[in-house]
């Protein structure tokens, strides 16, 4: 049942030595999957810079590249979090929301990437490691979700828990852009399917 949420993929490349080493460090002395998940969440949330918040012209996709660059979009950070947890044997998926991107460009919407982690005591639990800032305070507090954003008008959760990133996300993250502004003009969106 959970096999697909534990497997390595081209993007969630957890056999990478640096990911393996970090996964081991973060899980040291932990006695439960919940403790490991919290340490991994805090690391990715706080130590990996969010490209949009820092206006970086960096586009990482593979988990190992995110760790190497210490930067990525929410999607990329979700890839790293999944890799670190899967390396520790914790089933982890990729989840998405459709949100307003008004903080970057007015009147546009985009997909937002986060994770769903299967915790033995709680079942599937969503976390958002995009990084905190003024007005954003995502936490790890199962069984209560504390995501980065509350849903507003024309915003919604995508219910499926994916074992791999959506192809449009991977395409966006693997595109070379000349500037941060050009990147923002191409950020992926998804309309609600009726």
Read off the pLDDT of residues 20-76 as tens digits, 9 standing for 90 and up: 999 999 999 999 999 999 999 999 999 999 999 999 989 999 999 999 999 999 999
Where b means 16+ CB within 10 Å and e means fewer, 112-147 reads bbbbbbbbeeeeebbbbbbbbeeeeebbbebeeeeb
Residue 194 lies in a domain: no
pTM: 0.96
Query: What integer pLDDT is reported at residue 194 of this predicted model?
Result: 38
Q: How many CB atoms lie within 10 A of CB 52?
A: 20
Read off the pLDDT of residues 51-64 as tens digits, 9 standing for 90 and up: 999 999 899 999 99
Residue 192 lies in a domain: no
Read off the pLDDT of residues 80-105 as tens digits, 9 standing for 90 and up: 999 999 999 999 999 999 999 887 77
Residue 140 lies in a domain: yes
Q: How many domains does the chain have?
A: 1
| Beta pairing class for 123-127 and 109-119 | antiparallel
CATH number for the domain spanning 28: value is 3.10.620
Query: What integer pLDDT is reported at residue 193 of this predicted model?
Result: 46
Residue 31 lies in a domain: yes
Query: What integer pLDDT is reported at residue 191 of this predicted model?
Result: 60
Residue 109 lies in a domain: yes
Contact criterion met (CB below 8 Å) for 39 and 23: no
Residue 191 lies in a domain: no
Residue 86 lies in a domain: yes
Q: What does pLDDT average to over the chain?
A: 94
Higher pLDDT, 80 or 178: 80
Domain extent, residue 179, equals 3-185
Q: How far apart are CA 124 and CA 93, in angstroms?
A: 9
Q: With pLDDT > 70 as the criterion, what percentage of the chain qualifies?
A: 98
Contact criterion met (CB below 8 Å) for 96 and 118: no
Kindly state the tokens that stand for 2: 């959970």
Residue 190 lies in a domain: no
């Amino acid at each position: 049942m959970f096999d697909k949420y534990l497997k390595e993929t081209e993007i969630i490349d957890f056999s990478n030595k640096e990911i393996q080493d970090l996964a081991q460090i973060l899980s040291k002395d932990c006695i439960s999957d919940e403790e490991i998940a919290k340490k991994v969440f805090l690391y990715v949330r706080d130590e990996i810079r969010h490209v949009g918040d820092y206006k970086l012209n960096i586009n990482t996709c593979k988990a190992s590249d995110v760790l190497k660059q210490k930067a990525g979009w929410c999607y990329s950070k979700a890839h790293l979090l999944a890799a670190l947890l899967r390396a520790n044997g914790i089933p982890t998926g990729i989840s998405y929301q459709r949100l307003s991107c008004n903080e970057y460009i007015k009147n546009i919407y985009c997909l937002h990437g986060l994770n769903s982690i299967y915790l033995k005591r709680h079942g599937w639990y969503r976390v958002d490691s995009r990084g905190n800032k003024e007005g954003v305070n995502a936490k790890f507090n199962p069984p209560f979700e504390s995501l980065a954003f509350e849903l507003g008008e024309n915003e919604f959760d995508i219910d499926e828990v994916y074992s791999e990133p959506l192809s449009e996300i991977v395409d966006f993250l693997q595109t070379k852009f000349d500037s941060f502004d050009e990147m923002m003009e191409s950020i992926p969106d998804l309309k609600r399917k009726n």
